[in-house]
Structure 1
Amino acid sequence: MSKASSTPREFTGRHMLFLMLAFFGVIIGVNVTMAVLANSSWTGFVVKNSYVASQQFNERAAEGRAQTALGWEGELKVADGAISYRLRDAGGGTVRLDGVTINMHRPVTADEDTLLKLDPVGDGAFAARHGPGDGTWVVRIEAEAGLDHPYRDVRRVTIRDGALR
């Protein structure tokens, strides 16, 4: 019987080089992957010119306070492949509208942005045949109600099985 003698392998500079290349290769690979994914998703773009938007902030805030003081409430419905909107006054009566425009977009991407011009369908409601896909949407509604500025209603909604949830 012979006893096998094994000597431990020596850790050389070549081993250290491969270890360092593997370590930094993983780090660089992850960084490149994350940069490509970040570049192909939401741009972060909110307004075209932030200075102009900041100058309009006080005006928009005053419009919002005046609109809130009216006590009006919007009714948004999504069902059966259609989207509809109606505006009710503080007493529950229907507000007469001259036109309604809806801008729908996903919170994170601009791939499915949709601009809809709704048509009157009677009883003060406006509607369009459009079945937005399931998921989360930001819905910006502008209703012409005879005010100095359009009545604005912005909502974040979730649509599941073609209806609001």
Structure 2
Amino acid sequence: MTASAPGARPITGRCVLIVILVFFSVVIGANLVMMRFAITTLPGTEVDSAYSASLAYQREIIAARQQNERNWQVRVHIHRQSDGRAVLAIEARDRAGAPLAGMGFVARLERPVDRRADRTIDVSEAHAGTYRGSAEGVAVGQWDLVIEGDADGRRMFLSKNRIVLN
């Protein structure tokens, strides 16, 4: 004969069913929450089609060789102000040191971890060979600064550098 504690209830099939249902409900609920966080914070793919990216790769190699042959000297300075505004200055010169006037520069600040935070910098020519621009709402941290220079509708210059803005 076994002694049972006074007031203790015996384990029944109904009690076991309830415990199992509650356990799996908690596990499934946690999985659904984690899936939602993963899907909403995923920045997306780098390229939509790996095949089309591989076809463009040869053109990028040729463009990089042509850019190296031009031997341009492009100096860039960027800093973030306390109000979140990033100020960019580009100084572009050809191989002889003459200012490159009339270029169409486009600059982007790209977040390495989240494409949704990317910022475009409006760049305009201040005077011959000097270009300036700014972007609002730039957060502190690591960024990729991408600069493209176009002339006559053709990309003549491309630079991508990892920077830290404070």
Provide the TM-score with structure 1 as the length reference.
0.72
Distance 1:28 1:10 in 2: 28
Superposed displacement of residue 122, structure 1: 3.7
Structure 2 residue corresponding to 1:115, chosen from 108, 113, 120: 120
**1:9-48, aligned counterparts within 5 Å?**
9-48=9-48
1:51-97 per-position Cα deviation (integer Å, ceiling 9, x unaligned): 22210112212322443463745423224442222346679x46515
Q: Name the CA shift for 1:104/1:94 in 2 (closer, same or farther; >3 Å).
A: farther
Greater displacement, 137-146 / 29-38: 137-146
CA contact (8 A) 2:80 2:165 kept: no
**Residue 141 of structure 2: aligned partner:** 135
Partner residue in 2 for 1:126: 131
For structure 1, list consecutive stretches of 5 or more residues without a partner in the other structure: 161-165
Give SS of 1:149's match: strand
Match of 1:102 in 2: 107
- Correspondence for 1:6: 5
Give me the CA root mean square deviation: 3.2
**Does 2:157 match 1:156?**
no
Which consecutive unaligned segments of at least 5 residues does structure 2 have? none
Runs (4+) of structure 1 exceeding 6 A deviation are: none
Can you list the C-alpha shifts for 1:93-152, whole angstroms capped at 9, x where unaligned? 465151210122322333333323311224732111334232232221102368x63211
Confirm or deny: 8 A CA contact 1:140 1:154 kept in the other structure: yes
Q: Structure 2 CA distance, aligned partners of 1:21 and 1:95?
A: 74
TM-score relative to the length of structure 2 = 0.72
For 1:40-119, list aligned pairs within 5 A: 40-68=40-68, 70=71, 72=73, 74-80=75-81, 81=85, 82-87=87-92, 93=97, 96-97=100-101, 98-119=103-124
The secondary structure found in structure 2 opposite 1:6 is: coil
**Preserved contact between residue 75 and residue 85 of structure 1 (Cα < 8 Å):** yes
In the alignment, residue 78 of structure 1 is paired with which amino acid? Answer: H
Distance 1:38 1:112 in 2: 17
